[in-house]
Copies of this chain bind each other. A is one copy, B any other.
Amino acid sequence: MLNETYRRMLANKSVIRETAAYGHKRAAEIGYENVFDYSLGNPSVPCPPAFTAAMQDLLAHEDPVALHGYCPNQGDPGFRTAAAAHLRARFGLPYEQRHIFPATGAAGAIAHALRAVTAPGDEVLTFAPYFPEYGPYVAGTGAQLKVVPAQAPAFQPNLDAFEAMLTPAVAAVLINTPNNPTGVVYSAATLERMAAILAEKSAAYGRTIFLVSDEPYRDIVFDGGTVPYPAAFYPHTLTCFSFSKSLSLPGERLGYVAVAPGCEGEEILVDMMAQISRFTGHNCPPSIIQKAAARCLEVTSDLTVYETNMNILYDALKALGFEVERPGGTFYIFPKALEPDANAFCRKAREFDLLLVPSDTFGVEGYVRLAYCIETEKVRRSLPALERLAAAYK
């Protein structure tokens, strides 16, 4: 018999995927250039030339048996050393090779980190709005995801509600800064208070509550700002990074878990995650990608296009009267819909060939997400459609 849990999931199509599929269909009808598809968070800029050069150099000069051979269970040692040095220099925490566990993107990183610090029956807290894949990541561990309500309009985490929900059942807290879908960067003040609450409750309950910090957008930050680094505020942090956005390599599946120096279990967590891989059939991200990325830790793709696009969209949305928080990073913006039902609003937007994602999929009602990882020229051309959409609600 087929597994009923997974079979049933086929009926629940992802709204994001469904919207993107509609976009493809519509593009076939009226031309790709006429569909303003803000549905998918897929990087639109190429990887840096340094990555391609690193790949070519490895293929030309490395012994293929070593280049393509099995990694140790804990990942490529050179990559781990390079990632630790990068984090040390950038965030001032004393990371070493032993703190780094390479994983298949942030997805693999989160799946491993959560399994390491939860047991079936535990609770994992996250903050709305949140990336919908957190649902299956947590379900896969046997723990239960509980969602702290959103705090509009600024969308900093709701720490009063958080404190009330932080019961002894909570093993870990899963955060995401800069945030998908809001684009908001968690402030230092937010992280400071969050850390204080975590430390106080851990002491009160006699067990360390872990922080799992999902940071794939760390390098996409606007207005010359910086992103406060959660692990610098709370030591029991497993930082999950992905190169999908920073190096525009989402298909190559490379990221890592960085166990913060001073984290409970720091001496065994990476070895535990290597054991966890055996249950999921994961067994390390690809060898050549680890080796090439190890040479590219101090570069990124040209990410400036996302800030250009953000500014155009933010100014247009404000001018049209939308309630919207200015993103501090990512390639998302999260305005309030012009009617209470975000799904109805997205259907209305489709009449103007504007493809938006309703916020229900992120655990809040009444907002929409625009993923502006598309050509700037197209963002500009979408403004009249946005204007017509707003006019429909006057």
Contact indicator B278/A136 (Cβ below 8 Å): yes
A288 is an interface residue with CB less than 8 A from chain B = yes
Stretch of A40-48, A188-196, A325-333 with 4 or more beta carbons under 8 angstroms from chain B = A40-48
Residues of chain B with a CB closer than 8 A to A84's CB:
none
Contact indicator B70/A250 (Cβ below 8 Å): yes
User: How many angstroms from the CA of A272 to the CA of B249 in the assembled complex?
Assistant: 25
Question: Considering only CB atoms and an 8 Å cut-off, how many residues of chain A contact the other chain?
Answer: 78
Contact indicator B3/A108 (Cβ below 8 Å): no
Contact indicator B280/A281 (Cβ below 8 Å): yes
Contact indicator B116/A253 (Cβ below 8 Å): no
Residues of chain B with a CB closer than 8 A to A347's CB:
none
Contact indicator A288/B3 (Cβ below 8 Å): no
Contact indicator B46/A63 (Cβ below 8 Å): yes
- The quantity of this chain's copies bound in the complex is 2
A68 is an interface residue with CB less than 8 A from chain B = yes
Give A264's nearest chain B residue, CB to CB.
B2
Report which of B6, B116, B136, B139 forms a contact with A116, defined as CB distance below 8 A: B6
Contact flags (1/0) for A172-214 with B, using CB distance below 8 Å? 0000000000000000000000000000000000011000000
Report which of B2, B264, B286 forms a contact with A269, defined as CB distance below 8 A: B2
Residues of chain B with a CB closer than 8 A to A271's CB:
10
Report which of B44, B137, B281 forms a contact with A107, defined as CB distance below 8 A: B281
Give A70's nearest chain B residue, CB to CB.
B250
Contact indicator B52/A65 (Cβ below 8 Å): no
User: How many angstroms from the CA of A251 to the CA of B55 in the assembled complex?
Assistant: 15
A56 is an interface residue with CB less than 8 A from chain B = yes
A248 is an interface residue with CB less than 8 A from chain B = yes
Contact indicator B59/A55 (Cβ below 8 Å): yes
Q: Chain B's nearest CB lies how many Å from the CB of A216?
A: 13
Sample of 5 more A-B contacts, CB < 8 Å, known A1-B119, A137-B278: A2-B269, A3-B272, A52-B59, A70-B250, A107-B281
Contact indicator A119/B3 (Cβ below 8 Å): yes
Report which of B3, B6, B104 forms a contact with A104, defined as CB distance below 8 A: B104
Q: Which of A1-47 contact B (CB under 8 A)?
A: 1-7, 9-10, 17, 42-47
Contact indicator A117/B2 (Cβ below 8 Å): yes
User: How many angstroms from the CA of A59 to the CA of B276 in the assembled complex?
Assistant: 33
